[in-house]
Amino acid sequence: MNRDSNAYTFIFATVMVIVVAASLAIAATSLKPMQNENVRKEKMQNILSTIGVEVEREQAGEEFNKYIKEQISLTADGSIDESVNAFNIDLAKELKKPVEEQRFPLYKAEIEGKQYFIIPLRGAGLWDAIWGYISLEDDINTIKGAVFDHKGETPGLGAEITQSWFEKRFEEEKIFDPESGEFVGVTVMKGYSGGNNKDDNAIDAISGATITGDGVTDMIYNRLQYYMPYLKQQNVKVALNN
Amino acid sequence: MANKKDNKEKSPLVLFVAEEKEPLFSKKNRKLLSDPLDDNNPITVQVLGICSALAITVQLKPAIVMAIAVLAVMAFANMIISMIRNLIPNRIRIIVQLVVVAALVILVDQVLKAFAYDVSKELSVFVGLIITNCIVMGRLEAFALGNGVWKSFLDGVGNAAGYGLILVIVAFFRELLGSGKLFGFEVLGHKGATLAESSGLYALGYENNGLMLLSPAALLVVGVLIWIQRARNRKLIEKN
């Protein structure tokens, strides 16, 4: 057959596409379980790192079981839904549902007798989704630690939210307004001048990453507000006493 | 820029006969492997693949993984294209090359995600960008389309090794001078918050060079490498 004829070219292209697609599909399907395991362990690593526990990926499973005492899924009004496995909740899908149908995963950790609440976050950055975990101390007000990740923020600007120097700014910040006692979250603020003030509900933003920073602000407020009914039951002293 | 002497052996018959009699590692075949390491290095001589050389050479580990990934992609892409070189319709040969390279790159990416998850996160988009690496397409077009399977394989391995070699050298200097580490180990001593808490070179007041962590530093290192290579290998110097 003439190699330069149109028919040959079409047949060649068709066969090639089918062969390539089939082999890629087989490879992707057979590697999927291992990739999922990696993602699962990374999630455990992320959750643990918000409470200051850094583990290797291999040990993530054991350490996770050691520190995380309870995993519960909440409804928006603060009651516990026993029928849902908190760890398997996919926030990306959950966020698309109406609030009443959403379930909110909450992890309770314990280190040296101190209890921490770890809350998964998810929101929108400039280009795509951003997500993370934030942990609160047992006063439900002080942030113990936070980790963030993103899908497609600009490298060097918005993508810097994954850096530890940014995540460290959240440590010890308060999520309640010290005067009114209202839940306000933490604002990622442009031109922040509060220095090391941990009681002003704000941290310094990253230059050039305003929208990603606003995304982080919104994400923290939007997600945490649904946990307040439950968390307030857990601890009545909350911020009002501070 | 590409060296044109190593391909364009037009007659398939001559090639076939010559291959039959040739030992696997004949002098000519060994040259396919060794040439790209020095005389015809894709980065320092042909100045291809610079983009990824800038991006992933901050540390040694990702550089080595990237080199291995490129090696796998180039060796197999060259082999596959060479195998089907007499079947490929001439008009869509570039597309065919792209599909083969893209498929291999996706495979490498999937394998990394399954077995080297941290590294795959670190390399992120750059694994995908192997597709656009000029070295890969260049070798397919210039060599694999006109040569036998074994020779193409050697050519792919050789060129990827030449690329990887430079990557590793650049990454070695950038990690050592930029963060005082090699493979993440603190080889120059530990840098504490104060001079008293530091050890090794840092105790003497040594500071890491932050410039080395930025992409332009790779160009500086590559520039110095080209200088050294041409000082040693006079025939590479252009006469104009």
Any CB–CB contact under 8 A between A10 and chain B?
no
B206 confidence band (pLDDT: 50, 70, 90): confident
Residue A106 lies in a domain: yes
Residue B225 lies in a domain: yes
Taking an 8 Å Cβ-Cβ cutoff, which residues of chain B contact chain A?
Answer: 87-92, 95-96, 99-100, 103, 106-107, 110-111, 113-115, 117-118
With a cut of 80, say whether residue A236 has pLDDT above it.
Answer: no
Contact call for residues A61 and A55 (beta carbons, < 8 A): no
How far away is chain A from the Cα of B92, in angstroms, using its nearest Cα? 7
Residue A23 lies in a domain: no
With a cut of 90, say whether residue B231 has pLDDT above it.
Answer: no
Dig out the tokens for A1 from the structure.
Answer: 């057959």
Q: What is the mean pLDDT of chain A?
A: 87
Mean pLDDT to the nearest integer, A128-153: 90
Dig out the tokens for B113 from the structure.
Answer: 């995600």
With a cut of 90, say whether residue A217 has pLDDT above it.
Answer: yes
Write down the pLDDT at residue A146: 92
Q: Which pLDDT tens digit goes with each residue over A201-216?
A: 889 998 888 999 999 9
* ipTM here: 0.70
Residues of A in contact with B114 (CB under 8 A): 31, 34-35, 38
3-state helix, strand, coil in chain B (%, to 5): 70, 0, 30
Contact call for residues B59 and B175 (beta carbons, < 8 A): yes
Write down the pLDDT at residue B63: 87
Residue B7 lies in a domain: no
Mean pLDDT to the nearest integer, B7-24: 54
A87 confidence band (pLDDT: 50, 70, 90): confident
Write down the pLDDT at residue B20: 54
With a cut of 90, say whether residue B234 has pLDDT above it.
Answer: no
Mean pLDDT to the nearest integer, A92-99: 87
Q: Which of B91, B99, B114 sits opposite A16 (nearest CB)?
A: B99
Terminal CA-to-CA distance of chain A, rounded, Å?
Answer: 85
Domain that residue B60 falls in: 47-231
Residues of B in contact with A23 (CB under 8 A): 103
Beta bridge partners of A135: A118, A145
Q: Which of B126, B150, B14, B125 is nearest to B66 (CA)?
A: B126
Dig out the tokens for B168 from the structure.
Answer: 């590793």
Q: Which pLDDT tens digit goes with each residue over B56-71?
A: 888 888 888 888 888 9
Q: Which of B88, B99, B111 sits opposite A20 (nearest CB)?
A: B99
Residue B55 lies in a domain: yes
Q: Which pLDDT tens digit goes with each residue over A25-66?
A: 999 999 999 999 988 888 898 889 888 888 888 888 888 888
Mean pLDDT to the nearest integer, A85-100: 86
Residue B127 lies in a domain: yes
Residue A1 lies in a domain: no
Closest residue in B to A31 (Cα–Cα)? B114
Residue A224 lies in a domain: yes
Q: Which of A3, A24, A35 sits opposite B89 (nearest CB)?
A: A3
Write down the pLDDT at residue A130: 93
Residue B9 lies in a domain: no
Cβ neighbours of residue B9 closer than 8 Å, sequence gap 6 or more? B15, B146, B147
B240 confidence band (pLDDT: 50, 70, 90): low
With a cut of 80, say whether residue A156 has pLDDT above it.
Answer: no
How far away is chain A from the Cα of B1, in angstroms, using its nearest Cα? 30
DSSP assignment, residue B237?
S
Residue A25 lies in a domain: no
Domain count, chain A: 1
Residue B28 lies in a domain: no
B199 confidence band (pLDDT: 50, 70, 90): confident
Dist CA B81 CA B147 (whole Å):
10
Residue B22 lies in a domain: no
Decide if B100 and A38 are in contact by the 8 Å CB cutoff: no
- Work out the number of other CB atoms within 10 angstroms of the CB of residue B209: 15
With a cut of 90, say whether residue A99 has pLDDT above it.
Answer: no
Domain count, chain B: 1
With a cut of 80, say whether residue A85 has pLDDT above it.
Answer: yes
With a cut of 80, say whether residue A239 has pLDDT above it.
Answer: no
Of all residues in chain B, the percent with pLDDT exceeding 70 is: 90
Residue B29 lies in a domain: no
Decide if B91 and A4 are in contact by the 8 Å CB cutoff: yes
Domain that residue A220 falls in: 42-234
- Work out the number of other CB atoms within 10 angstroms of the CB of residue A54: 8
